[in-house]
Structure 1
Amino acid sequence: MPRPTRTAAFLATLTAASLALSACAGAATIADPTDVNPEGEIVPREISWLLSRPADGGVIAAMEQIADEYAADHPGFSLNLITTPDRPSYIQKYETLAAANKLPELFDTDATPFAQKLAGQDRMVDIDVLLDDLGLADDYREAALNYQRFDDGALYMVPFEFQLEVFWYNSALLEQAGTQIPATLDDFPAMCTALRGAGITPIALNGQDQWPLERYMAYYPFRMTGTDYIRDLKNGDASFADPTGQAAAQWLYDLGQAGCFPEGFSSTGYADAQALFTSGKAAVYNIGTWELSNLATEALNPDVRDTVDYFTLPTIDGAVTADNEFVTPSGIGMAVNAQTYDPLVRDFLGFALERYPELYAATGALSPTTTAQTTIPADATELYSRLVALADEVGPAIAMPWDTQLDPATNTRLQQELTLLVQGDITPDEFVTTMDAALAENLR
């Protein structure tokens, strides 16, 4: 959990940036976000990309290679990558630059209300129109694009990733406890009770970073309402006291009472949670395909390698979403600044977006398009190929991560209260009351 002083300063900065955004918008050069093929000569220069991605990750490596290839044919061109991997720090920088009307040609953003305000001020290029004009619209996975869309369906971000979040499990540990993978979300507590009875930690959890537990909060509402509930909640048209919110709170409380998570989970970090699973001490681990190289190759502990499998998000009785619809994020998207969009930016994007999928898929990652085949590593287990194939079978609805949907203040309070709820320090009713008060305060 961030120190209170840092959190307060961060939220104050965001508030100031949001206010300044409204004030400076009138001074911004008005652009047509659908004018995706501007007239004029392509004049090479440096363009910049403000981004929030690992500096040694596959996205940056592929784009650096693409920029070098483009520069070879366009002397004078260069791509300046302004990298801030730490997400809170990045958001602070991004929103401050937006408020000052100083965003570079390209910048990363989630489909947040802040980003939608920028789009509403014609400060971002319409990506639906751009991809169609470039002849690339049909190349992208529907789910990859849908993850980037605003609530009204508008698309202003380009995806560079595609991930599947699944529940990895150790079949030997489940068999030892005389239990099986849950057929529905309501079967989780019984599975946990059986595992606890056998002296096995049921679910490994990175509680320190808080977002993994927040994923669990999103699951029940997604099966009950699809994306309707979180959309209405963040807009003030729903409350935590609604039946959907109460059901989610009760389910999280029941998980805690069944001992689903390790003792002291709130201080367990990412690496320790993964080690708990890969060492054979925990039966289940909910994480995405970004961990394929660790969980589906010979890098995995040989003591558990042959007993590791996966299942996707279980359903509930009366679910409105399909079994093949779950958390399938395409990561933070890239927006294109409409005020600095010109023939060079268009030409580079046309080259980059066509070249990118092949380079990215060659790293063993899932491409956001269907045009590039993922390279399966030589040391991969059969799980690797199965999960790559699963990417072609997912449905269009996505269980959106709530940390990308709620305002920062409400999200911070939700993460804090979820820990208390699962630990049994508060009841579901107390959780609902606290969260509705926080939501009302932060939506003013």
Structure 2
Amino acid sequence: MKKLIRTAAVAAIAALSLAACGGGGAASPTNVSPTGEIKPREISWLLSRPADGAVINIMKKIADDYAKDHPGFSLNLITTPDRPSYIQKLETLAAANKLPELFDTDATPFAQQLAKQGKMVDAEKLLKDLGVYDNYRPNALNYQRFDDGSLYMVPFQFELEFIWYNKALLQQAGVSVPKSLDDIPAMCTALRNAGTTPIAIDGQDQWPLERYVAYQAFREAGSDFLQKLKKGEAKFSDPAGKKAVDWMAALGKAKCFQDGFSSQGYSDAQNQFTSGKAAMYNIGTWELPSLATDKLDPAVRDNIDFMTLPTTQGSVTTANEYVSPSGIGMAVNTKTYDPLVSDFLKFALTKYPAEYAATGALSPTTDVKTATPANATPLYTKALGAASDLGDQQAMPWDTQLDPTTDSRLKQELVLLVQGNITPEQFTSTMDSTIAQNAPKFFK
């Protein structure tokens, strides 16, 4: 099934290229202030977000409020939380030129193809026209940008990813909080010898393991390595890539992850850490309600802390530069962009930040203050505070950057590498060959 979805992605780009010959949207991507009468109607948003999540619940409320003054208006939310299924639906609709008024997308080559064909409204011009651009966190916007720096997606979230750890378990094993990524394999060995699982990970969904392979390369060569790697202009056999591969093999040899990690899911990993069975857990601020409130078992709560991604000797990136995603972005369809959509977006994007911050989450803007829950521990405030001290470089999740075929193969090969089923040399040969075969077709 995954192979069919990946094949469909490449086919959709080909179909999209052909569809471009038939014309793009009805308006210019830079015409962000359409004139004319606001005529209420139903507009649709194709989403890839949890149906009961804060973003959808808040936007439902905002749409209802807007409809009070605009009878006949409604927002139809078409939700497909499963990302592979969503991508397939998005690409099918795009190829048929039937995208709704609003739709979710990452800053992928496919989305950039849409933008180049004039099918997406220029989000930077839109946000500036609405007078809210300067309120957005630079990292939140940069996460949504294409390689050329253009911005066609609006962020609705902002997260920071930390490595959480249990101080008591580290102390029992006689180890300190790692100051360098290079310290982690030896730390894992010590924790294993003390009878503790070093790192809890969701291996079933594969993307958490993919985070790890990005870390050494980001510290060694910054974001530039990934930008070149995904296009076939860099290789895993290059110094930064080799360091990443060797480190992943070392994590596996030291048995850093829980036994049987590849078949264990998100809740399994979370439970391992929150029950005090695992010493470390790499996860984002979306888990603050589970890790930094009184919901956490008192026996574990007082021993929990977090660190940002450790650096390495000679790092070109700093401790305050790490993964800080703003989630999947929202694009605006040029073809259906009219005074109603423009007016609703102005209403929604003005009200959304305060509503989102009130849920205890970091807003993608800085003009509102996040409400700290009454049952929060001091770690909650500490985590929120890290958002004000971010560097300029950003470690991008590789699954949003690589071509689909390469990304799928990478996920599979990483599991085999960490489990010791293949050598670093075999991994490198396979992945460099996969990138060479698929990147040129995807990054035209």
TM-score normalised by the chain length of structure 1: 0.98
Could you say what secondary structure the match of 1:280 adopts? coil
Distance in 1 between the 2:264 and 2:35 partners? Answer: 55
Cα drift, residue 28 of structure 1: 3.1
Cα drift, residue 41 of structure 1: 1.1
Match of 1:53 among 49, 54, 62: 49
Amino acid at match of 1:232: K
Distance in 1 between the 2:215 and 2:118 partners? Answer: 34
Identity %: 65
Match of 2:22 among 20, 27, 49: 27
Equivalent residue for 2:113? 117
Distance in 2 between the 1:180 and 1:28 partners? Answer: 61
Distance in 2 between the 1:15 and 1:286 partners? Answer: 32
Equivalent residue for 1:95? 91
Equivalent residue for 2:429? 433
Could you say what secondary structure the match of 2:103 adopts? strand
Distance in 1 between the 2:118 and 2:318 partners? Answer: 36
Cα drift, residue 108 of structure 1: 0.2
Aligned residues: 439
Equivalent residue for 1:340? 336
Cα drift, residue 300 of structure 1: 0.6
Could you say what secondary structure the match of 2:191 adopts? helix
Equivalent residue for 2:4? 9
Q: What does residue range 97-246 of structure 1 map to in structure 2 within 5 Å? A: 97-246=93-242
> Is contact 2:105-2:153 (8 Å) kept?
yes
Amino acid at match of 1:246: K
Distance in 1 between the 2:120 and 2:278 partners? Answer: 45
Distance in 2 between the 1:323 and 1:205 partners? Answer: 22
Equivalent residue for 1:36? 32
Cα drift, residue 407 of structure 1: 1.1
Cα drift, residue 319 of structure 1: 1.3
Equivalent residue for 1:3? none
Cα drift, residue 164 of structure 1: 0.6
Distance in 1 between the 2:94 and 2:402 partners? Answer: 20
> Is contact 1:45-1:77 (8 Å) kept?
yes
Cα drift, residue 12 of structure 1: 2.5
Distance in 1 between the 2:364 and 2:51 partners? Answer: 20
Q: Deviations over 1:268-325 (max 9, x none)?
A: 1110111111111100000011111111111111110000000010011111112111
Equivalent residue for 2:354? 358
Cα drift, residue 162 of structure 1: 0.4
Equivalent residue for 1:391? 387
Q: Which runs of 5+ in 1 are unaligned?
A: 1-5
Equivalent residue for 1:258? 254
Could you say what secondary structure the match of 1:75 adopts? coil
Equivalent residue for 1:402? 398
Distance in 2 between the 1:358 and 1:441 partners? Answer: 46
Cα drift, residue 427 of structure 1: 1.1
Amino acid at match of 1:119: A
Equivalent residue for 2:82? 86
Cα drift, residue 15 of structure 1: 2.3
Q: What's the C-alpha RMSD, in Å, of the aligned pairs?
A: 0.9
> Is contact 2:156-2:364 (8 Å) kept?
yes
Amino acid at match of 2:276: G
Distance in 1 between the 2:191 and 2:302 partners? Answer: 20
Q: Deviations over 1:13-34 (max 9, x none)?
A: 2222111101111223343211
> Is contact 2:216-2:243 (8 Å) kept?
yes
> Is contact 1:28-1:101 (8 Å) kept?
no
Distance in 2 between the 1:9 and 1:117 partners? Answer: 21
Q: What does residue range 63-82 of structure 1 map to in structure 2 within 5 Å? A: 63-82=59-78
Distance in 2 between the 1:325 and 1:230 partners? Answer: 15
Match of 1:269 among 259, 262, 265: 265
> Is contact 2:202-2:268 (8 Å) kept?
yes
Cα drift, residue 72 of structure 1: 0.4
TM-score normalised by the chain length of structure 2: 0.98
Match of 1:329 among 325, 330, 346: 325
> Is contact 2:24-2:117 (8 Å) kept?
no
Equivalent residue for 1:421? 417
